[in-house]
Each structure stands twice: as C-alpha cells, then as structure tokens.
Structure 1
C-alpha cells in the first residue's frame, strides 16, 4: 500500500489493489457519486455530481490532486479521507491523439461516504463501473461530450439509489448492460490453533465431496465436532498448517464453527437456555440431534433441559453424567454438548495454569495464564490426566478458570 500525506490537517490518500481503505468502524451508505475530470481549459473540475454540490468547490479544490493524480496512480483504487468525507475513486487516463486536445482524457469516477464509514466494499464496484465508462468513452466519447452529461447523471442517480437500497444495480445504455453488486467483506477470523475443534454446519454435511477443494475433500471426513485440528491433520495425513488455513477459510465463509475439545473433565456454564424452551423448532431439532439411537423414542425436552441446567461452575461433565445417566434416556452426552455449544446454550469454562515460582521448567514456561489447558495438552502431546496430576502436585502452579 502507498500513502500520500499533505500538511497537518490535510487529506490522507491511500492507494491499493485489494481493499486497503477499510480501517473505518461502521458500514455506511454511499452519500454521493461524482465524476472528476481534468479539462484542458478549466483545469480540475467536477463535471457530474449526484446529489448536486454535495462535494463543494472548496473541498474539491483542496483534494483535486488526489482525485486526478499522476499516471503511476491511475487504474488502481484510490481513497481520500478528508473534511468528514471518504472518497473512493479509480482514476483513469485514456490516450488518443486524434480525439483529445492534449492527447489524453483524464477522469475519475468517485463514490463518497462518511469519513468513519467502511469503504472497502465499494472498491470493486467503483472499478467495474469505471471500466464500463471507459468502454462507453472509447466507443462514443460518452464522458467527454457535454451533451451526454444528463444521461450520465441518470446513471449516477440509479446507481446511488439502487446500491443503497438493494446493494445491486443494473445499468442499460444502448446495447451495453452492466450489473453492479456490493459484496460485504467480513473481518478475518482469528487464527486456528491445533487444539480447536471444527464442526461442519449440519445443512452442509451432505454436500458432495467433489464440490469442495482438494484439501477440504481430504479433511472433511474427519470433521465431526470431536476431533481437534492436530488430530484431523494426523488422520487425514495433511500438513497441519495447511489444515489450519483450510479450516480458517471455512470459518470465514460460515461453513465451520470452532468448538473447544470435548473432555469429561470439562466444566460448562449455561446461558440463554430459555431459547431451548421458547422455540419448538429448536427443541425438536435438539431432540433429534442428541438422540443416542434416533430410531427409538426421542429424549424429552424436560430431560435435555435438566441436563443443560445441571451445568454450573465447579461441576464436571463426568459428574453430571454419573448423576443423571443420560444414556439411560437415549441421550448422547457428547452430541448434547456439541449442540449446546453450537447454539450458545452453554459455554466451556477453560483452565489456564499460572506458574508462580522463580525458575520454570520447559513445561512450566507454558503456564503463563494465557495458554489454555487444551492448548498445553496439544503442544506437549500429554493426556489431560497427566497434566492435571502434574499441576495438582506442583505448589508453584495456580489455575485460573475463565
């Protein structure tokens, strides 16, 4: 990314080919669309703007060097954030010695939004609409002829209205048609770690394998809400970092949800449990999902609710199973935990060991209070039982639950 700065208080411009303008905090509407030009007589000017005068002459005069920049910044997205507005453009120079007085026609189609609005989602639309206008200009001088400005204004009005209301717009000019669509970019999901457990969303479980990329095809049979990333990599014989990248991509597109490792020594806490009772569709889906033997009488909502309601601080999953015997009621406790985590009825209380002594061993160096018990197990390859016993005997280690 390239940055250009003016004097203190002046505009800041950023140029990118992949969305570097999006550090803002809110999603915002397009406030204005305008076409900036360099006229051989009048110099820098706005030749068409909707709504009219949204960008004042004073503001444009202050930033026109960024709207109509030098050739190295042409044909790439350029964003200027100044005076409470953010302007996303795609400056273009069309060379033609016969058509134009100075052998070149320079223009920039710009979208304007609020200065704190997120603008990265507009960059592909601005580029596509600019390329459409380039084609129209090369075919019929659509932009450089003054008598076509009313048609251009109508295009801007349609694009502004339809993109703000429906996020899609269709422009038809003669035999030329263009379809515009705003695609909202999600923030990158957090990094996937070895101890995390991916769960494929139920409605995608039956998607044919050939519809996925090769890495996903290899690891998909091992994604079951039980296996953690390191185990999936070992079982599928795929390099761990490749598995992490693949799963992170699936999380980004909402195909996979990440869960903590399911252990009988885990402690869970209930939250939003009323939703299970309030929604008949959700409670029926839960009964079917958690059934140990789906072909037999499904477990009752009351039994399931009792199981979830028993989850509280200091009570392990093992203790609950010993007291309530879920399998006697056709309940698979592992599926119940998975369903509860997936629908946020419960959350796992994680353990974080903290070493309080003076000279830590290699393993104790991981006891920082920032690395969870699950992650330590994965990194050391030791069983939870072994680590628990080690921590219980060590007077220099304190465990934080959170």
Structure 2
C-alpha cells in the first residue's frame, strides 16, 4: 500500500499498527509500560503527545484521538482512585496506533471496552500496577488482539474467570434525507431477491421501485402512508440496498464527472454498462465508444433532449434512460438542478416557494405542475431568477 496516496479524512481504513499501555509513574511521570510491537511509538513521538495520553482530569474516561508525527493514536485515559496507590490514584491509557491517514472511528468502542476490561482486572488483582508482574501476559494479550483484529476484526480474550469479546464494527454515515421527489432504485445485487424475503412494508412498495417513480408516486400507487414509505426507503438507502436519484426528465441537464474515466479503465464495468443500457435485447450490445461519447457530451447548458436529438442513441441500440440511470448510480454524471429565486419585495402564491432552496423537481412534486408549466410561469415573472447548481 502506497501511503503517499492517502490523506487524513480520505475515509480509507488501515491496519492497527501498534497497541501500547501508558501509565503515570509517581516519580518518572508518563511512560509507555508495554508496547506491541516494541518501539513502534518512539520516545520522540511519545514525548510530543504524552500530555494527551495521560491528560488532565477533564479529559478522563472519554475517547481521545491524537494525530501527530505520522501516527494516529486512539486512547481512553483512565484514573482509578484508591489509597493503596502512591498519590492515591493509578492513571493509565490503553491506546491503538494506526497510520495518520487512516479512518479510526471504528476502533473507539473497542479501545473503550478493552480499557474497561483492564480496569476490572486491575481492581480485582492489581493486574496493571504490580511492576514486573503480568507484563509478559499483557504482551501476549496485545499481540493476540493486534493479529486477530487486523485479520478478522474479532478477538476473544480469556484471563482466569474473566473473558471479553472484541469486534470492530464499521460505522456507516448518517442515512440520507429522503424527500417526496426523489427516485429510489435498487442496486444490482438486490434486484433478484424474492419478494417474501423482505419485511411487510418493503413488500408493499418494492413493486413500484423501478428507477422512474418518485417517493410521492410510490406512496400513492402502493397505498402506503408517505412518511412510512420515506422511513422504509431511508433504511434501505442506509444499508445501500438502493440509491436515490433525481426524477429523470428529458429537460434535465447533466454533467459528467471525473469518475467517467473508470468506464474506460475497468473492462468489467464497461461490459456491465453496455449490457444494462442495451435497448433491444436481440441486437448486439452498443460499442463502448458510443456510450462514452454520450456521457462525455453531457455538460452545463445542454439538456438530455438536445443530446438525444444530436446523437440519436437508439440507432446504436442505446436506451438513453437506462444510460442516465447507470451513470447516476456509478457517479459518472450528476444532475444540474434549477433553483428559482424570488428577488422582488413581497412574494405571493407560488412565489413563496422560490427561495433558492427548492429545485424544480421538488416544486413540481408539491404543486403537481410539469417542469414546462413551472418554466413558463417563471419566464413571465420578472421578479424571479434561476440558479443552476
């Protein structure tokens, strides 16, 4: 893996490079008492960040992440109060170390759970604080955890009568906000799942999810409350069962993205695209050159209708609607939306919707008017301008 191609915030996950235990010694101060592999975190690095490894009391018992000098350290600083310790307290921090660019949020619950396990062992038998004792056992534990979590993302520890199960769970981003005018489309791998395998609400709306119907229409045709439909669609989108697309209209304007190059570089993706966009199943699949040309012709100010009139995709056995759907699914293209903005003094009637926050799709869905009707209305109104974005 070439580390130079990644950066903090890129979202890529990396391996756990090191696990170490830091303690606060009554005379020596903060130090690393156990580390696997040895010397991965150098004295220079630890010296630069130790104020965050054994921090002030305000930062205790909360997950802290420090990114410095090429490493990212995730820890959970702890203080155990007891008169048996010098200074009446024992401070330690169990830390995972990964590359500075790596996503680390998935390690935070594991670090916290393992720290709480060590607290229990310390309170029961002084497992951590007895100098010289149990140190080799701690090294073996860290070595096992490091290998297990990197290889299979799960690890089980048994120490006497105590056991702990650790698992790295990937955190997904928040589910998308689902609006009435959005069009859901099942991803390819979920299209052939039997209807009875889904929950009851999904079974009701699934026959109407075709990449053309928007949420409001699905609600009406399936006779299911629209809020229930939105919740169901949002849940399916969260688990990437489906994606949400804008309403497909020939008046839409699309623009190709830098991901379009993947269509040429990836032969499997190229074949999948040509097969999907085929208009007549009895004719040969369209050539990649014509498919690429259609996508590359999409730019600001040119509608889908204009491109179809110029390139006539059906002559090359291309279904332009499927072409747009595939392009949106794989981020080859994006839709340029139109947002009307009222610039007069006091808006009246439909003008109140022209805030610059609602695009044509949303306004059409709420009013029941066609895009042409909205366009005609706006053209007559000198107090309304349109933003494309």
TM-score w.r.t. the length of structure 2 is: 0.73
State how far apart, in whole Å, the 2-side matches of 1:212 and 1:46 are: 54
Hey, what does 2:168 align to over in structure 1?
182
> 1:379, CA displacement in angstroms?
2.4
Q: 1:151 to 1:26 in 2, by over 3 A?
A: farther
Hey, what does 2:233 align to over in structure 1?
247
Q: How does 1:241-320 map to 2 (within 5 A)?
A: 241-272=227-258, 273-320=260-307
Q: 1:227 to 1:36 in 2, by over 3 A?
A: farther
Match of 1:219 among 179, 200, 205: 205
Q: 1:89 to 1:276 in 2, by over 3 A?
A: closer
> 1:36, CA displacement in angstroms?
5.7
> 1:133, CA displacement in angstroms?
4.8
State how far apart, in whole Å, the 2-side matches of 1:47 and 1:279 are: 47
State how far apart, in whole Å, the 2-side matches of 1:267 and 1:236 are: 30
* Unmatched runs of 5 consecutive residues or more in structure 1: 1-23, 70-76
Hey, what does 1:387 align to over in structure 2?
374
Hey, what does 1:33 align to over in structure 2?
20
Indicate the larger mover: 391-400 or 58-67. 58-67
Q: Does the 8 Å CA contact 1:349/1:401 hold for their aligned counterparts?
A: yes
Q: 1:253 to 1:174 in 2, by over 3 A?
A: same
Q: Deviations over 1:100-151 (max 9, x none)?
A: 979xx98866325599986542232134435655776799875576632320
Q: How does 1:1-400 map to 2 (within 5 A)?
A: 32-34=19-21, 48-50=33-35, 59=51, 63=55, 65=57, 78-80=62-64, 88-89=75-76, 110-111=94-95, 120-130=105-115, 133=118, 147-160=133-146, 163=149, 165-166=150-151, 168=153, 170-173=155-158, 180-272=166-258, 273-400=260-387
> 1:229, CA displacement in angstroms?
2.0
State how far apart, in whole Å, the 2-side matches of 1:26 and 1:335 are: 31
State how far apart, in whole Å, the 1-side matches of 2:272 and 2:261 are: 15
What value does the CA root-mean-square deviation take over the aligned residues?
Answer: 4.3
Q: Does the 8 Å CA contact 1:79/1:86 hold for their aligned counterparts?
A: no
State how far apart, in whole Å, the 2-side matches of 1:337 and 1:155 are: 53
Q: 1:110 to 1:208 in 2, by over 3 A?
A: farther
> 1:290, CA displacement in angstroms?
1.3
Q: Deviations over 1:184-231 (max 9, x none)?
A: 323324422222222221112112344444433333322222122222
Q: Does the 8 Å CA contact 1:270/1:345 hold for their aligned counterparts?
A: yes
How many residue pairs match? The answer is 363
* Unmatched runs of 5 consecutive residues or more in structure 2: 1-7
Q: Does the 8 Å CA contact 2:54/2:91 hold for their aligned counterparts?
A: no
Q: Does the 8 Å CA contact 1:48/1:152 hold for their aligned counterparts?
A: no
Matched residue of 1:33: which SS?
strand
> 1:160, CA displacement in angstroms?
4.3
Q: Does the 8 Å CA contact 2:23/2:54 hold for their aligned counterparts?
A: no
Q: Does the 8 Å CA contact 1:90/1:126 hold for their aligned counterparts?
A: no
Matched residue of 2:180: which SS?
coil
Q: Does the 8 Å CA contact 1:299/1:329 hold for their aligned counterparts?
A: yes
State how far apart, in whole Å, the 2-side matches of 1:81 and 1:276 are: 38
Matched residue of 1:299: which SS?
coil
> 1:241, CA displacement in angstroms?
3.2
Q: 1:109 to 1:167 in 2, by over 3 A?
A: farther
> 1:398, CA displacement in angstroms?
1.8
Matched residue of 1:78: which SS?
coil
State how far apart, in whole Å, the 2-side matches of 1:291 and 1:350 are: 27
Matched residue of 1:363: which SS?
helix
Matched residue of 1:344: which SS?
coil
